[in-house]
Amino acid sequence: MRAFKYYMKRLVIFPSVIITVQSLNVFKRVFGALANSFFDVRKPLVVRTPEERFANLDSLGYTYKPNYVDLSIGGNKKLPRVHYIDEGPENASETILCLHGEPSWSFLYRHMIPPLVASGYRVIAPDFIGFGKSDKFTYQESYSHDLHTLTLRLLIDHLKIKNSTMVCQDWGGLTGLSVVKDLPEAFSRLVIMNTGLPCGTKRLYSPQVIAGFTPFLMWRSLVELFSTQLPIRQVFLRSLIKPTQAIVDAYESPYPSALYMAGAAQWPLLVPVTANTPVAADMKATREYLATNWTHKSALIMFSDRDPITRPSKAMFEGLLPHAAKKTVVGAGHFLQEDKGEECAKNIIAFIDNKL
């Protein structure tokens, strides 16, 4: 009976929702094009979240000094301003780079930073462009996988990061692990949490594959429908194990209005669905790099037990990195840094000390 309900939901109910939502998306695009032809809507290319939006986060443990940088891309051109946390001694024996995903920001790591710094480590947690305290493009088409990987590479160079430990989750994994193959000297350890390296698919060849794929397709369809009206609050209310109003408000604080939400609206749409896309090719190359070039370096695969979105990717990473240490965080959902941050930090410390 349990198996019947599982496949009924994923092979009948979810596909029905996907088809319905995609039909609505077609109407939305048609009416959007018509509206744009009649109304000249002008908006700034880049916006900056007002600082007062972050005024009440100290009580939630987000007490860190902000750091900002305008990263140069050559020809007197710069990226929008990037924010990052940088805690602990600059000359620490270990540097830990913590990467957030969709639609979170460095606030996600606030419970993990104190124990890591107390262990003598330097901890860096950036906000990708479009998220947190970093500046935000207002047009969805301004965001790409290349933008986020470029930002990360330039920040690593700016901060002179070498032989660090990367901690990545959600899109932080897709972006960060892609950069690992480009800048291998920057990393000596990987901590891979609730993420994936989706290469798209050429065909859905079995009920099991379809069943594993439909939850993400449904989420992607809904994100496309909501666009810059994406209900960030509902995402966290439904994803966190014990959400409170104050915590959900904090995750929503970077987005005063739809004008600020193009990055959050676009990131899920960049996940490759088919295999014939540049992002899919990059994910495939990243898989191949890890499988052939990370055999002599350390990795920790640390997934939670209550994340239906990324659960299938755990076995994929274990196949790519059979020598990796493994840890399951019990009682945590997709955002395990929020649900079990101190436990995650404890596991990372043990991993670095070779005690896992």
- Residues that are catalytic: 170, 307, 334
Closest to 126 (Cα-Cα) out of 93, 94, 104:
104
Closest to 151 (Cα-Cα) out of 126, 184, 133:
126
- Between CA 304 and CA 315 the distance in angstroms is 13
- Between CA 14 and CA 7 the distance in angstroms is 10
Which secondary structure element, helix H or strand E, spans residue 311, and what is its range? Answer: helix 311-320
- Between CA 6 and CA 8 the distance in angstroms is 6
Nearest 5°: the CA angle 66, 72, 76 is: 130
Which secondary structure element, helix H or strand E, spans residue 348, and what is its range? Answer: helix 341-352
- Output the DSSP codes for 22-84: HHHHHHHHHHHHHHHHH------SEE---GGGGTT-GGGT--PPPEEE--EEETTEEPSPEEE
- Cα 134 to chain center, whole Å? 15
**Tokens for 111?**
């419970």
Q: Is 162 helix (H, G, I), strand (E, B) or coil?
A: coil
Cβ neighbour number for residue 114 with a 10 Å cutoff: 17
351, 191 Cβ separation under 8 angstroms: yes
- Between CA 92 and CA 279 the distance in angstroms is 35
**Tokens for 189?**
């350890």
- Between CA 322 and CA 211 the distance in angstroms is 26
- Between CA 283 and CA 270 the distance in angstroms is 12
